[in-house]
């Protein structure tokens, strides 16, 4: 899950998807990062933490980090919160950028619409609730989609 600061949107996305995967019995490794380095080492924004906790999800342990080219080797799927984030990922990853692994998160909910999750950085608490609701619905779709694929996969060869 990638946004600009790794402080507002992507920490929520990491927490929400990790929570839903756990509830579904999926042992996914979910992580998040930001394309700018302004908040490296910081915990998520207090309003992201507050809104997540209101939904029973504790994201206080998360620590902001910068997106890196090696993330394309480490992860199967990379969701960006917005189109400007994809541009920055491309700049950071260079030749390692793998378009097949990247999509906008909201395309899981509204395929082909290329909607951004709005940046709540200059907003107030209701903006964080709106962001939570959008990410929550998109993550439901992800779990639904990939759980079926996982269950179809034979356990052993």
Per DSSP, the three-state class of 134 is helix
Roughly what angle, to the nearest 10 degrees, separates helices 46-54 and 9-23?
Answer: 30
Q: Other C-beta atoms within 10 Å of 45: how many?
A: 21
Closest approach of ligand 4NP to the CB of residue 8, in Å: 3
Structural tokens at position 54:
């209101």
Q: How far apart are CA 35 and CA 43, in angstroms?
A: 16
Do residues 52 and 15 make contact, with C-beta atoms less than 8 angstroms apart? Answer: yes
DSSP H helices in the chain = 9-23, 46-54, 71-74, 83-93, 125-152
- Nearer to ligand 4NP by C-beta: 3 or 21? 3
List the interface residues with ligand 4NP, window 37-56 (CB under 6 A). Answer: 38
Of 119, 134, 135, 142, the one binding ligand 4NP (CB under 6 A) is 119
CB of 77 to ligand 4NP, least distance (A): 19
Based on CB atoms, which residue is closest to ligand 4NP, 38 or 150?
Answer: 38
Q: What is d(CA 34, CA 135) in angstroms, rounded to the nearest whole number? A: 16
Q: Does 121 bind ligand 4NP (CB under 6 A)?
A: yes
Query: Minimum distance between the CB of residue 82 and ligand 4NP, rounded to whole angstroms?
Result: 8
Residue 46 annotated among the catalytic residues of the structure? no
> Do you know the residue count of the chain?
157
Kindly state whether residue 4 participates in binding ligand 4NP, applying the rule CB under 6 A: yes
Nearer to ligand 4NP, 7 or 105 (CB): 7
Of residues 26 and 40, the one with the C-beta less far from ligand 4NP: 40
Check: CB of residue 75 under 8 Å from CB of residue 99: no
Q: Which member of 1, 5, 134, 139 binds ligand 4NP (CB under 6 A)?
A: 5
Which chain residues interact with ligand 4NP by CB under 6 A?
Answer: 3-9, 34, 38, 119, 121
- Report, as residue numbers or ranges, the catalytic residues: 3, 9, 119
């Amino acid at each position: 899950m990638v946004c600009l600061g790794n402080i507002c949107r992507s920490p929520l996305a990491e927490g929400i998807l990790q929570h839903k995967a756990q509830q579904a019995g999926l042992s996914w490794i979910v992580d998040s990062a930001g394309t700018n380095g302004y908040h490296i080492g910081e915990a998520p924004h207090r309003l992201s933490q507050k809104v997540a906790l209101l939904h029973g999800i504790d994201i206080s342990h998360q620590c902001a980090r910068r997106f890196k080219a090696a993330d394309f080797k480490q992860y199967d799927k990379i969701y960006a919160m917005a189109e400007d984030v994809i541009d920055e990922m491309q700049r950071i990853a260079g030749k390692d950028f793998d378009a097949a692994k990247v999509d906008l998160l909201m395309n899981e909910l509204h395929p082909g619409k290329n909607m951004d999750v709005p940046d709540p950085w200059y907003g107030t608490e209701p903006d964080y609730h709106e962001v939570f609701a959008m990410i929550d619905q998109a993550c439901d779709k992800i779990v639904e989609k990939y759980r079926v694929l996982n269950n179809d996969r034979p356990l052993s060869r």
